[in-house]
Amino acid sequence: MWNTTFFVIDATIAASLLFLAIASFFKQGYKNRLNLLFAEFSLLIAFWIIANHVSNYTFLSNQAATIANYVVFSSSFGSAIVLMQFIAKLTGAHKLETIVKRALIPLLIIFVMSATPLVVAGVSVQGDIYAVVFGPLIWLYAIGLFFAVSMIAYGITYGLRRDRGAVRRQLSIIRYGLVVALPLVMMMSFIIPLTTGMFWVTQFGISPTIILVFSLYYGVVRYHLFDIRLAAVRTLTYALSLSVLIGLYFSLANVLSNTFGKISLSINQSPIGLVIVVVLLILFQPIKLVFDRLTNNIFYRDYYKTDELFARFNQILTSTTSLRGLLERTAYEISYTMKSEQVFFFVNTFDGHYLTSGTAGHDQLTKEESLKLQDVYGQRSGVIVAPMLAEDDPVRRLMLSHDIELMLPLFQADVVGYLCLGFHRTSHYTTRDAKVLRTLADETIIAIHNNLSIDEVRRSNALLRQMDKEKDEFVSIAGHELRTPMTVIRGSTNLLERGQLGPINDKQKEVLSRMSANTKSLIDLVSDMLDLSKLETNKLEINFTHNQIDDLVNAALAKIHVLYEAKGVKLSYQGELGAIKTDSDKFERILLNLLSNSYKFTEPGGNVMITSSFNHAEHSATITVTDTGSGIPSKALGTLFKKFSQVDDYLQRQTSGTGLGLAICKELVEKLGGKIGVKSKVGEGSSFWFTMPMGTDEAN
């Protein structure tokens, strides 16, 4: 019974390895050196298994048993040589590959000798099996086998220490299989027979390899040791479908036989059998579709639809203006979709600094490392794959030090940054992944530039607000500090000018008069600057009340009519009765500023008219100040209400002024809920107007 059990196990090992070897040739896999080595290993294991069982059959002649042992020893030694090359190739360790290549000729010589009397001198019956009589060079065979096994162990250890990602996981799976299987195979197939002479254990020597078979298949399914998923999926799909159909066939046969008695279900003897076959053929495709979906969910869990990925990606790019948040969400999307251990961005900002953002716990490049990458790769675009770089490549070492498998430089005129992907969590990245990443990178570069521009504008605005705040503080402090001494100077000048401190002559009086006028202009300028600063920072207190418009206008006229009379300019008012909602003090200042402006530019004998009217549809009142002065050039009208807006020095040439009066009027009018404007023609005069909201009839 045990012999039969182990024979079944050994047959399963041979069949499984041969299927894996054949499947690895699909999709032109035969061009891959790794696949060819595995196929050779599988064939040698199959020869070993067959010869191992044949060599123990005592009904064979001594010569036949000896030949079978030649095959056992040569195929087992050959499988060790091929497995050694397979591990060296899988790890990509150049030093190991060099050692294996140099040792290959001596090992092949031993391989040839193992099929001669130099290693197997013959056989002798030991109980119910044949025992091997070792030849004189068995010690050389043992040394060669020990060397091959040592190189296999070294290659796996080196690869686990050096490699990352899918290769490391594949090596881990193979290591677990070999660590358990290889010692058992060596003990039962070689060491125990050689040291104790008990050859009966050799019939079980190959069976522990089943553990290696399980690990290899797990590596294929879980970590893509060979890209045979398509073959595996289709084979499994058809096998399951046929199993279900066979089960249905016999179930229907059993039900019909129990119902109608014994009926022949052969399609040649009974129409019922033909009907069942037709039904099963009809059911085959639906059953296969069910198993297609099932196997796809198992084998293609890492598959993603590019259209859906791009849709999610575009939504991320358009949903935030925070660069760090955008990069973090993008990194998580790429990591989730492509099964990356980590994803992060390194981005150079406009101010010479850099930003790094990505999945939780990601590694970070330094500014120096990014400059090193730029020096090495310059303006080269495309995906950089760490395992594909030369072992002594500094970029490879840099990437592996940060657990980066893929790196994609982000270019737009210059290096914007880098998109870095860690190792694949289950297998490896594909050409399709690289194409998708390039598309995503192009869109990301645009989004990064847009966000950097927005951030730059935000920083500029913040700087401007800070500068504006500092300006307001300076104006406030300077204004208060200047106004006090200037008031003292003007008061002292007035005392001297009136002769209260002693007699003065006409020349002195003229100088003192100019000093007083200029000092007043400075005081007015400081006052205007303080008021404008308060208006722009919303620090000027506004008190709305309901006032009769004629009362407000007459109050302003009472304060300025003396100036007009002294100059010989006629000042009059004509308007509708009604109430407006305004701040009486601020209204008076607006009107006095406009009247002062007309006073300056109207020659003696001229007229200045104030009119008021109400627009009940718009619920507003319009106050207009019209003069017959010199007028304003049309090109100056656009900037007239801006600070210091004496365009082309026109106003300055006509009369002195701070250049702030009209700007203050505009700010005050808008604070009070109105609008202001001007119409003018050179040589004919100007007409300034402003509006105020209508109020109730109850005046204050």
What is d(CA 409, CA 382) in angstroms, rounded to the nearest whole number? 7
| Phi, psi (degrees; rounded to nearest 5) at 364 | -135, 135
Residue 420 has pLDDT above 80, yes or no: yes
Radius of gyration of the chain from its Cα atoms, rounded to whole angstroms? 49
Query: Could you tell me if residue 269 is inside a domain?
Result: yes
List C-alpha distances in Å: 446 to 6, 107, 324, 410, 450. 64, 59, 15, 10, 6
Query: Could you tell me if residue 368 is inside a domain?
Result: no
For 18-32, 54-68, 133-147, which range has the lowest pLDDT when averaged over its residues?
A: 18-32
**Beta strand segments in 238-299, E:** none
Same structural domain, 142 and 54: yes
Average pLDDT (574-602) is 88
Which residue carries 């000896």 as its tokens?
Answer: 66
| Phi, psi (degrees; rounded to nearest 5) at 685 | 115, 180
Q: Are strands 620-627 and 676-681 parallel, antiparallel or unpaired?
A: unpaired
31: three-class secondary structure by DSSP? helix
Q: Classify burial at 283, counting beta carbons within 10 Å of its beta carbon; exposed 0-12, middle 13-18, buried 19 or more.
A: middle
Same structural domain, 128 and 270: no
The pair of three-digit structure tokens given for residue 297, joined into one six-digit string: 């969910």
Same structural domain, 124 and 256: no
At 226 the pLDDT is 57
List C-alpha distances in Å: 613 to 401, 541, 678. 81, 27, 16
Percent of the chain with pLDDT over 70: 66
Query: Which residue, among 476, 356, 455, 485, has the nearest Cα to 410 in the 3D structure?
Result: 356
Sign of torsion over alpha carbons 157, 163, 167, 172:
positive
Same structural domain, 174 and 285: no
Q: What is the DSSP string of 328-390?
A: HHHHHHHHHHHTBS-EEEEEE-TTS-EEEEESTT-----HHHHHHHHHHHTT--S-EEGGGS-
Same structural domain, 632 and 594: yes
Residue pair 217/12 in contact by the 8 Å Cβ criterion: no
Average pLDDT (214-222) is 63
Q: How many domains does the chain contain in total?
A: 3
What would the pLDDT profile of 439-464 be if each residue is shown by its tens digit?
888 788 777 777 666 666 666 677 76
Same structural domain, 129 and 244: no
At 690 the pLDDT is 94
At 613 the pLDDT is 92
What is d(CA 597, CA 659) in angstroms, rounded to the nearest whole number? 11
Question: Which H or E element spans position 686?
Answer: strand 685-693
What is d(CA 351, CA 642) in angstroms, rounded to the nearest whole number? 33
The pair of three-digit structure tokens given for residue 670, joined into one six-digit string: 């808008």
At 452 the pLDDT is 66
Same structural domain, 221 and 241: no
Query: Which residue, among 357, 358, 351, 354, has the nearest Cα to 373 in the 3D structure?
Result: 354
131: three-class secondary structure by DSSP? strand
Residue pair 348/417 in contact by the 8 Å Cβ criterion: yes
Query: Could you tell me if residue 511 is inside a domain?
Result: no
| Phi, psi (degrees; rounded to nearest 5) at 621 | -120, 145
At 194 the pLDDT is 67
Query: Could you tell me if residue 271 is inside a domain?
Result: yes
> ∠ at Cα 501 (498, 506), nearest 5°?
50
Q: What is the DSSP string of 178-207?
A: HHHHHHHHHIIIIIHHHHH--GGGGGGTTT
The 10 Å CB-count burial string (b at 16+, else e) for 561-576 is: eeebeeeebebebebe
For 131-140, 245-254, 476-485, which range has the lowest pLDDT when averaged over its residues?
A: 476-485
What would the pLDDT profile of 289-340 be if each residue is shown by its tens digit?
776 666 656 555 556 777 778 788 888 877 776 778 888 888 888 888 888 8
What is d(CA 562, CA 378) in angstroms, rounded to the nearest whole number? 79
**pLDDT class for 648, splitting at 50, 70, 90?**
very low
Q: In what order do the strands lie in the sheet with 620-627?
A: 570-575, 607-615, 620-627, 685-693, 676-681
Q: What's the predicted TM-score (pTM) here?
A: 0.44
For 49-58, 265-274, 279-288, 657-666, which range has the lowest pLDDT when averaged over its residues?
A: 265-274
Same structural domain, 211 and 120: yes
At 1 the pLDDT is 41
CATH of the domain at 615: 3.30.565.10
Residue 523 has pLDDT above 80, yes or no: no
The 10 Å CB-count burial string (b at 16+, else e) for 451-481 is: bbeebeeeeeeeeeeeeeeeebeebbeebee
Same structural domain, 110 and 249: no
Residue 249 has pLDDT above 90, yes or no: no
What is d(CA 550, CA 67) in angstroms, rounded to the nearest whole number? 131
Same structural domain, 15 and 126: yes
Q: Are strands 129-134 and 120-126 parallel, antiparallel or unpaired?
A: antiparallel
Average pLDDT (33-57) is 77
List C-alpha distances in Å: 530 to 472, 479, 689. 8, 7, 25
**pLDDT class for 428, splitting at 50, 70, 90?**
confident
Average pLDDT (395-423) is 80
At 345 the pLDDT is 87
User: Which of these three, 201, 226, 251, is where a domain ends?
Assistant: 226
At 674 the pLDDT is 92
Q: Could you report how far apart the first and last alpha carbons of the chain are, in Å? A: 119
Residue pair 673/693 in contact by the 8 Å Cβ criterion: yes
Same structural domain, 78 and 207: yes
**Residue 572 lies in domain:** 545-693
Query: Could you tell me if residue 330 is inside a domain?
Result: no
CB neighbours (10 Å) of residue 75? 23
List C-alpha distances in Å: 607 to 394, 610, 626, 665. 87, 10, 8, 22
Q: Report the Cα 362 to chain-centroid distance in Å.
A: 13
Residue type, 6: F
Query: Could you tell me if residue 654 is inside a domain?
Result: yes
Average pLDDT (27-40) is 71
**pLDDT class for 3, splitting at 50, 70, 90?**
low
Query: Could you tell me if residue 203 is inside a domain?
Result: yes
Residue 574 has pLDDT above 80, yes or no: yes
At 285 the pLDDT is 73
Residue pair 673/580 in contact by the 8 Å Cβ criterion: no
At 272 the pLDDT is 62
What is the 3 state secondary structure string of 577-605?
A: CCEEEECHHHHHHHHHHHHHHHHHHCCCC
What would the pLDDT profile of 600-620 be if each residue is shown by its tens digit?
888 899 999 999 999 988 899
Average pLDDT (565-575) is 89
Question: Which H or E element spans position 612?
Answer: strand 607-615
Residue pair 228/17 in contact by the 8 Å Cβ criterion: no
What is d(CA 355, CA 443) in angstroms, rounded to the nearest whole number? 18
Residue pair 630/593 in contact by the 8 Å Cβ criterion: no
At 333 the pLDDT is 87
What would the pLDDT profile of 371-401 be if each residue is shown by its tens digit?
777 776 655 567 888 877 777 788 888 888 8
User: Which of these three, 272, 299, 326, is where a domain ends?
Assistant: 299
Q: How many residues does the chain have?
A: 700
What is d(CA 417, CA 103) in angstroms, rounded to the nearest whole number? 46
Q: What is the mean pLDDT of the chain?
A: 76
Query: Which residue, among 555, 683, 662, 685, has the nearest Cα to 607 in the 3D structure?
Result: 685
Listed ranges 267-281, 337-351, 622-636; the one with the highest mean pLDDT: 622-636
Same structural domain, 175 and 69: yes
What would the pLDDT profile of 124-146 be if each residue is shown by its tens digit?
877 667 777 888 998 898 899 88
Query: Could you tell me if residue 286 is inside a domain?
Result: yes
User: Which of these three, 284, 299, 314, is where a domain ends?
Assistant: 299
Residue pair 338/421 in contact by the 8 Å Cβ criterion: yes
Residue type, 235: T
Which residue carries 């000018």 as its tokens?
Answer: 497
CATH of the domain at 94: 1.20.1070.10
